Amino acid sequence: MVFKMRTDKRKTDRANISAVSEVINGTSMRKAANDNKIDRTTLSRYVNKLKATPDSDVFMEYSNPRQVFSVQQERI
Structural domain spans, the chain: 17-61
For residue 39, give the nearest of 19, 24, 57, 53 by alpha carbon: 19
SS3 76: coil
Is-above-0.85 flag for pTM?
no
How does pLDDT run across 46-60, given as a tens digit for each residue? Answer: 888 888 876 666 556
Q: Report whether pLDDT(13) > 60.
A: no
The distance in angstroms from the start CA to the end CA of the chain is 47
How does pLDDT run across 14-51, given as a tens digit for each residue? Answer: 556 788 888 989 999 999 989 888 889 988 988 888 88
